[in-house]
Each structure stands twice: as structure tokens, then as C-alpha cells.
């Protein structure tokens, strides 16, 4: 299905995985428009302890604008590796990763860092806030060296208010709960207006209810800010919150057809 | 204009750096303490050394225009020349221009006994014409026509409880054995005095039947004449064919002292600088630990777009801050210690010489510099860690 309607609010055509040859290794809705990030036959190998480990064994993937994807897999499946590649933190050993059509391997370290800053926002399981900065300063941090202090402050304040922490701008991280810390991290991830929000086990350190709220927040922000949300997790429950689920097992990617259906008000399989 | 912008960019770096330094308070405090010790070591040794030098050099004051002429002793000669005769002294007077000459009789085998009959072992007997001409007395006076009394140096007097009016017996083997009255006790003269007056008992030359002068002191008022000229004159007169006299200028001794002092002081400062090396190691260690702890944070910084240069600048700024703090504390402490040393040795706590203050400044600068350099390795390690490795 080369022509596909651009995804509208939360309504994904069912059976979307059927697009193009369904050999089980393709993972893409086939939506129109250039994907933000696209991987073609990506292989990633590591040397550890004298052995070469093939973490990713020739996978294809794409992230489209305002996409909502969950990458599910057990530990050791290559999730972190894929996350690193999606986040432009690393380059593939073989195959190509393209950012808006451009091969990332052609970029220098510095250029890649700049692209990463512009395109990707990160949210981690352990939050990784800087304990010596206030919430507001933490959100500003990615732009602190940009010499646009006023605009940065405005954007940061706006984002913190958006995630519901407008009354805690000056709090230090150790004065915030886990959920609040994660919300600060989310605000921080958006301060550079990225196209993709990459979340690594975002609810891993949170209780169920708090986690649910975070996942809801992702969904709201996705539609408001037009940012793609990619969640990497081993928890199927978390994966269900995404529109599209992709299974990563032993370095191979497979679209999870069952979990991918989530029509508005539709039932879960 | 671009420099200003770069400065503004450094402000967030400094903000981040300051916050990070205040994180591990105890650790940072210890690192700062190490720098303080280094800065204080260098500064205090520098100032203290200068004070010591000033104190020692003071002893040379008043003897700047003095030289000692002694005969050169050739042991293989038939009649080794150990003394100057009157005729030779007269020649010297001619050759020395307008300088004042004080011939000194230095008898061997001389003894001095106190009123109570004890022998003063350390006293030297010297025969001169009139010590009152160039020495001040602490007690008593030296009569103009000084022929029948002795004048005692300050150390001899204080060690043996001798006062003017006491009787002392002077024994010179083969020459005289006579009891004299003590006419005066001299002011302390210090170690630079060519006559070593403090350790001497002066006897009138006239007491000797056949005075032979072991040395001749040349005195020139530095304001009006040059002791160098007098010395050269004498040397030319006597050493034309063969070295028969040795002229030893106090000024030369002073210069030698200054030179050897400089060397010793520099060595000590070097030792003090080693403590700064220890401070550098401490700072590097502290920062390294901090970097390892902050692996995640630094990884996030790299992930959100901080380049390697930015990370290095941040960490080096943290290290430098520790150095600046150490210097800010160490500088005043060094000055304080220096002031105490000044007060002790020179009497005036504020008697800092420019050289001494320079040492404090150098210590401070080195403290900051060392800290900066110490931060480079940990910064480099942190910046070059692949961000991907930081998360797990």
C-alpha cells in the first residue's frame, strides 16, 4: 500500500502491517511522507570479552512524524542497541540509518550530536535529572549553552506548566516524586522541539497509576506537539498504550499485529 | 564583541560547575584544602625566606664599607709571612687612599681570665689602637688616651657577667701577663663584623712590646668613598709580583650570602611546589570519582546535544573552581603566616618585600593552574565516553 492516508488523530487503519511484503521482518505502517528516521538492513555488532555479538541482525524500521510506537522485547534482545541507533547515539555496523533521508554514517560526531539535539528528545527510566539544578533549570539544560536565555526560559516554563508542574519550577529534584521527576524529564526532552521522543522504560521506576498518567501525557503531547513517541520496554502493558507495537527478539524485528490495533474507542485484542 | 559572547556562554558553564562543586561538599573541601596547603607552602616559604634574608642582611649593615687585609701564608717559605710590619701598614695606608686603616694584633696563645679567676675559653685577644673610634659602647666609655684598660665585646661580657670596672687578666704567651680594668662593654655587632668584636677582648696596642699585625681592617664611609677602590689600591701595591695579601670585602661576603640564600630558597620553594603536585593529584582523583558517579547525567548531556568540547569545558571549570577557591583561602593565610614571620624576624609584620609578595602571587597562580591541569584528564575521559555506554 504505497498510498496511505496520513495518520489522523489516533485512528490507525487496521491491518496496517499488511502493507508491502509481509515477511514478518518489516515493521512499518507504510504511511506517506518521509519518515523521520529510517533503518535499512541494519546490523549492529559489539565486541565484548573477545567475542563479537550481533545485537541487531539486519532489521528494517521507520519512525514517521507523530508516530506512536512501542518496541517490546526481553532483556538481551537488542532493545538498548536499537534505542541507541534511533537516538543517533550510535551508528550501525552494516546497513543504513537515515535521518530525514540523510545517512547518519556520513555525519561527523559533532554533526550527529547537533542533529540529535534538534531531532530527538530522551526520557529514561532513571530520569537522570541533574540534582544540583532546579526543575526549571533541568528543563533548560539542553539549551543552556545556546545563548538564548530568555527564550529558553520561556519555553521551559511553558513546558513545565504543560506537564502540570507550573508550581514547582524552583524545586530541586530531590523534592519531587518519581512521577514528577519523570514529567520534568519529559519537559526537558521537548525543550528543543524534537521530532521524536525516545522513551526507555519510562515507567520502569513508577507505580502503575503514576505510570499510566505518564503514558497519557505522552499521548497528549504527541498530538499537541506533533512529536513521534517511541517507547522501548519489556512490559507488554506499557506497549499496549502505543498505536503500533513492534517485537524485537534476538536482534530481529517483527510487527506485533495483534497489539497494533487501537482504534478510537476500539477494544483491545 | 565575540569575546563577550563567549563569556556569556561560559556563565552557564560556571553555573553548572559551581553547582556540581557544591555537591560533594566534603570531597570538594578536601581537594580545596590540598590546594590551600600548596599555596600556603609556596607563599609562606617565599615570604618567610625573604624575611630571614632581610634579617640576616641587616647584620651586614654598617660593615658595607669594610674590608680585611690579611697576609697570604706560604707554608714552605723560610720565614713565612704571618704578620704585617709597621712599614707595611704605612704602605697600605698610602695605597688605600683616604681609607681608615686599623691594624690588629692577633696574638696566638692568649688567655683571658675573669675577675674570679676563670678562664674565658672563647675570648679572643686583639690589640688595636682605639675601639672607641668606630664601635659604640653599651656600658662605660673608652678614654681618648686608651692605654691601661681593656674593652670587652658584648657576648664575652654577657656570658661571664663582666661589667666596666671589673678586673680582667690577659695572658699572652711570651709577651705579657697583666691585669687590666674593664673600661667599657661594646654594643652587639653581629656576625658580619670583621673584627668579631662580640667575641673579643680588646687590648691597647701599646701594651705589646713588639706589635705584629695579623690583619688590617680597612674602613671606608660608603657615602663618601669606595671600599673597592681602597681594596684595589692595596692589592695593586702588594700583589704586583706575587700574592702577598688577601683582601676580603664584607660586601663580597654579603653577596655570597645573598646568592646562596637564593639557591636555598628556590630549593625550598620547589619542595613546597611538590605539595601542589599532591593537590593536583587530589583534584584529579576527586573529579574522576565525580565523573564516574555522574556517568548517567553526563551521558544525558551528550544525548541532548552537548558536544565533547562543552563537557570538557564544564569539568575543567569545576576543577579550576576548586583551585580558585584554594587560592582565595591560601593567599590570605600565606600572607598571615608571612606577617607573623616578618614580625618575628624583622620586627615589622607588614615588612613584605616585593619578592616575597611575588611568591604569594606565584603560589596562588600555580594553585589555580595546577587545578586546571588536573581537571583535564578526568574531563577528557568523561567527554570521550560514548553516550550510548552511559545508559543501562
d(CA B39, CA B323): 10
Residue from the list A84, A118, A144 with its beta carbon closest to the beta carbon of B388? A84
A132 at B interface, C-beta within 8 A:
yes
**DSSP-H helix ranges across chain B:** 2-21, 25-60, 86-95, 154-160, 227-238, 250-293, 295-303, 308-345, 354-383, 387-390
A94-99, strands of its sheet edge to edge: A51-63, A37-48, A94-99, A102-103
> Per-residue pLDDT tens for B356-389?
899 999 999 999 999 999 999 999 998 888 777 7
B19 at A interface, C-beta within 8 A:
yes
Residue from the list A80, A128, A188 with its beta carbon closest to the beta carbon of B296? A128
Residues of chain A contacting B300 with CB distance shorter than 8 Å: 122, 124, 128
Predicted confidence at residue B263, as pLDDT, reads 92
Is residue A90 within 8 Å of A116, Cβ to Cβ?
no
Shortest Cα–Cα distance, B8 to chain A (Å):
7
The residue ranges of every structural domain in chain A are: 65-91+108-257
Q: Which domain holds residue B332?
A: 2-60+256-390
The more confidently predicted of residues A31 and A252 is A252
Q: Which residue of B has its CA nearest to A146?
A: B9
Mark whether B194 and B167 lie in a shared domain: yes
Domain A65-91+108-257 has CATH 3.40.50.2300: no
d(CA B375, CA A79): 35
Is the predicted pLDDT of residue B392 greater than 80, yes or no?
Answer: no
Mark whether B132 and B46 lie in a shared domain: no
Mark whether B229 and B266 lie in a shared domain: no
- Residue A137 sits at the vertex; the CA angle it makes with A131 and A138, to the nearest 5 degrees, is 55
> Per-residue pLDDT tens for B124-162?
999 998 888 888 889 888 888 888 899 999 999 998 888
A244-249, strands of its sheet edge to edge: A120-124, A196-200, A228-233, A68-72, A244-249, A252-255
Given B249, B267, B293, which residue is the final one in a domain? Answer: B249
Mark whether B309 and B200 lie in a shared domain: no
Across the interface, do A114 and B310 touch by the CB < 8 Å criterion? Answer: no
B7 at A interface, C-beta within 8 A:
no
Angle between helices B86-95 and B227-238 (to 10 degrees): 130
Burial category of B64 from C-beta neighbours within 10 Å (exposed 0-12, middle 13-18, buried 19 and up): middle
Q: How many domains does chain B have?
A: 2
Mark whether B79 and B167 lie in a shared domain: yes
Mark whether B230 and B132 lie in a shared domain: yes
Across the interface, do B16 and A144 touch by the CB < 8 Å criterion? Answer: yes
The position carrying cell 691597647 is: B204
Across the interface, do A145 and B391 touch by the CB < 8 Å criterion? Answer: no
Mark whether B54 and B83 lie in a shared domain: no
Predicted confidence at residue B337, as pLDDT, reads 93
Output the DSSP codes for B125-178.
Answer: EEEES-GGGT--EEEE---SS--SEEEE-HHHHHHHT--TT-EEEEEETTTEEE
Mark whether B20 and B159 lie in a shared domain: no
Enter the C-alpha cell of residue B273.
Answer: 611546589
Enter the C-alpha cell of residue A252.
Answer: 530481529
Confidence class of residue B55 from pLDDT cuts 50, 70 and 90?
Answer: confident
Mark whether B264 and B210 lie in a shared domain: no
Model pTM score:
0.73
Predicted confidence at residue B6, as pLDDT, reads 59
Across the interface, do B305 and A124 touch by the CB < 8 Å criterion? Answer: no
A210 at B interface, C-beta within 8 A:
no
> Per-residue pLDDT tens for A232-256?
998 889 988 899 999 988 888 888 7
Residues of chain B contacting A113 with CB distance shorter than 8 Å: 302, 305-307
Amino acid at each position: 500500500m504505497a498510498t496511505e492516508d496520513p495518520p489522523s488523530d489516533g485512528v490507525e487503519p487496521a491491518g496496517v502491517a499488511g502493507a508491502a511484503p509481509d515477511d514478518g521482518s518489516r515493521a512499518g505502517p507504510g504511511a506517506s511522507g518521509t519518515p523521520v528516521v529510517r533503518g535499512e538492513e541494519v546490523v549492529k555488532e559489539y565486541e565484548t570479552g573477545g567475542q563479537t555479538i550481533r545485537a541487531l541482525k539486519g532489521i528494517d524500521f521507520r519512525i514517521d512524524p507523530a508516530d506512536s510506537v512501542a518496541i517490546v522485547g526481553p532483556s538481551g534482545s537488542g532493545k538498548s542497541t536499537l534505542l541507541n541507533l534511533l537516538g543517533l547515539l550510535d551508528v550501525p555496523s552494516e546497513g543504513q540509518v537515515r535521518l530525514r533521508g540523510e545517512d547518519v554514517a556520513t555525519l561527523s560526531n559533532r554533526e550527529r550530536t547537533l542533529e540529535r539535539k534538534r531531532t530527538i528528545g530522551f526520557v529514561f527510566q532513571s530520569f537522570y535529572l541533574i540534582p544540583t539544578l532546579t526543575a526549571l533549570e533541568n528543563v533548560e539544560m539542553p539549551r543552556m549553552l545556546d545563548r538564548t536565555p530568555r527564550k529558553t526560559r520561556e519555553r521551559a516554563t511553558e513546558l513545565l506548566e504543560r506537564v502540570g508542574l507550573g508550581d514547582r519550577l524552583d524545586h530541586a529534584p530531590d523534592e519531587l516524586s518519581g512521577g514528577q521527576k519523570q514529567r520534568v524529564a519529559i519537559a526537558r526532552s521537548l525543550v528543543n522541539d524534537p521530532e521524536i521522543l525516545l522513551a526507555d522504560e519510562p515507567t520502569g521506576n513508577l507505580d502503575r497509576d503514576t505510570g499510566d498518567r505518564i503514558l497519557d501525557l505522552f499521548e497528549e503531547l504527541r498530538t499537541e506537539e506533533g512529536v513521534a513517541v517511541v517507547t522501548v520496554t519489556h512490559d507488554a502493558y506499557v506497549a499496549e498504550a502505543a498505536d503500533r507495537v513492534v517485537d524485537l527478539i534476538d536482534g530481529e524485528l517483527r510487527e506485533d499485529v495483534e497489539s497494533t490495533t487501537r482504534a478510537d474507542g476500539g477494544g483491545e485484542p | 564583541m565575540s569575546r563577550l559572547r563567549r563569556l556569556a556562554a561560559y556563565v552557564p558553564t560556571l553555573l553548572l560547575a559551581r553547582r556540581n562543586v557544591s555537591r560533594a561538599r566534603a570531597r570538594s573541601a578536601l581537594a580545596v584544602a590540598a590546594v590551600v596547603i600548596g599555596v600556603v607552602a609556596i607563599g609562606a616559604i617565599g615570604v618567610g625566606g625573604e624575611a630571614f634574608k632581610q634579617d640576616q642582611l641587616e647584620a651586614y649593615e654598617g660593615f658595607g664599607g669594610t674590608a680585611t687585609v690579611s697576609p697570604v701564608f706560604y707554608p714552605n717559605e723560610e720565614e713565612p709571612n704571618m704578620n704585617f710590619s709597621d712599614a707595611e701598614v704605612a704602605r697600605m695606608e698610602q695605597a688605600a687612599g683616604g681609607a681608615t686603616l686599623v691594624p690588629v694584633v692577633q696574638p696566638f696563645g692568649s688567655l683571658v681570665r675573669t675577675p674570679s679567676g676563670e678562664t674565658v675559653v672563647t675570648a679572643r685577644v686583639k690589640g688595636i689602637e682605639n675601639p672607641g673610634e668606630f664601635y659604640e659602647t653599651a656600658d662605660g666609655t673608652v678614654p681618648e688616651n686608651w692605654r691601661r684598660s681593656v674593652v670587652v665585646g658584648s657576648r664575652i661580657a654577657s656570658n661571664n657577667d663582666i661589667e666596666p670596672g671589673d678586673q680582667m687578666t690577659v695572658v699572652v704567651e711570651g709577651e705579657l701577663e697583666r691585669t687590666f680594668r674593664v673600661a667599657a662593654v661594646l654594643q652587639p655587632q653581629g656576625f658580619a663584623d670583621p673584627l668579631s668584636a662580640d667575641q673579643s677582648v680588646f687590648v691597647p696596642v701599646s701594651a705589646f712590646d713588639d706589635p705584629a699585625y695579623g690583619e688590617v681592617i680597612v674602613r671606608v664611609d660608603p657615602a663618601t668613598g669606595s671600599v673597592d677602590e681602597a681594596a684595589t689600591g692595596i692589592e695593586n701595591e702588594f700583589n704586583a709580583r706575587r700574592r702577598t695579601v688577601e683582601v676580603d670585602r664584607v660586601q663580597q661576603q654579603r653577596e655570597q650570602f645573598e646568592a646562596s640564600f637564593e639557591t636555598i630558597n628556590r630549593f625550598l620553594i620547589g619542595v613546597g611546589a611538590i605539595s601542589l603536585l599532591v593537590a593536583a593529584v587530589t583534584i584529579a582523583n576527586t573529579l574522576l570519582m565525580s565523573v564516574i558517579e555522574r556517568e548517567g547525567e553526563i551521558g544525558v548531556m551528550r544525548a541532548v546535544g552537548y558536544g565533547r568540547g562543552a563537557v570538557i569545558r564544564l569539568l575543567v571549570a569545576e576543577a579550576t573552581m576548586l583551585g580558585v577557591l584554594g587560592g582565595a583561602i591560601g593567599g590570605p593565610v600565606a600572607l598571615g603566616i608571612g606577617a607573623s614571620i616578618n614580625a618575628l624576624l624583622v620586627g615589622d609584620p607588614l615588612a613584605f618585600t616585593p619578592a616575597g609578595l611575588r611568591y604569594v602571587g606565584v603560589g596562588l597562580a600555580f594553585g589555580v593552574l595546577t587545578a586546571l591541569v588536573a581537571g583535564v584528564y578526568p574531563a577528557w575521559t568523561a567527554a570521550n565516553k560514548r553516550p550510548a555506554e552511559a545508559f543501562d
